[in-house]
Amino acid sequence: KQEVTQIPAALSVPEGENLVLNCSFTDSAIYNLQWFRQDPGKGLTSLLLIQSSQREQTSGRLNASLDKSSGRSTLYIAASQPGDSATYLCAIHTNAGKSTFGDGTTLTVKP
């Protein structure tokens, strides 16, 4: 059974700081890994998708890495801004259409 853990559960940083969010998973037999952002009471917005054969993906100030052998992914956010404040979730996609999510890291960026 796939288990996904995100640590820390909450993180508070001053504006402008670079930060790393962590995601670990127990079963390396994955199709891909997807990072999402969720604002309070809203749906999930896709940030980055990394296929199982890839090591990293970049979009603007975001960079996500994947190390299947160690069961880890990181989301790096450069030059954080107050608008980055949200909950960040990682999801592991496997066959049979099943996706397993972590409980998220709630990020607060203080002006």
Partner 1 sequence: ETGVTQSPTHLIKTRGQQVTLRCSSQSGHNTVSWYQQALGQGPQFIFQYYREEENGRGNFPPRFSGLQFPNYSSELNVNALELDDSALYLCASSLGTSRSPLHFGNGTRLTVT
CB of 110 to partner 1, least distance (A): 22
**Which of 21, 64, 104, 107 lies at the binding interface for partner 1 (CB under 8 A)?**
104
CB of 100 to partner 1, least distance (A): 7
* Position 12 contacts partner 1 (CB under 8 A): no
* Position 25 contacts partner 1 (CB under 8 A): no
Q: Are 47 and 61 in contact (CB under 8 A)?
A: no
- Phi/psi at 19 (5° precision): -145, 160
Q: How far apart are CA 60 and CA 93, in angstroms?
A: 24
Q: How far apart are CA 78 and CA 93, in angstroms?
A: 26
- In the complex with partner 1, the residue whose CB is nearer, 42 or 55, is 42
43, 52, 59, 85, 107 from 111: Cα distances, Å: 25, 37, 23, 11, 13
Question: Nearest 5°: CA angle at 87, between 67 and 75?
Answer: 25
- In the complex with partner 1, the residue whose CB is nearer, 18 or 59, is 59
* Position 13 contacts partner 1 (CB under 8 A): no
Site for partner 1 in 76-95 (CB under 8 A): 89, 91, 93-95
- Residues of this chain that interact with partner 1 (CB under 8 A) are 4, 31-32, 34, 36, 41-46, 49, 51, 89, 91, 93-104
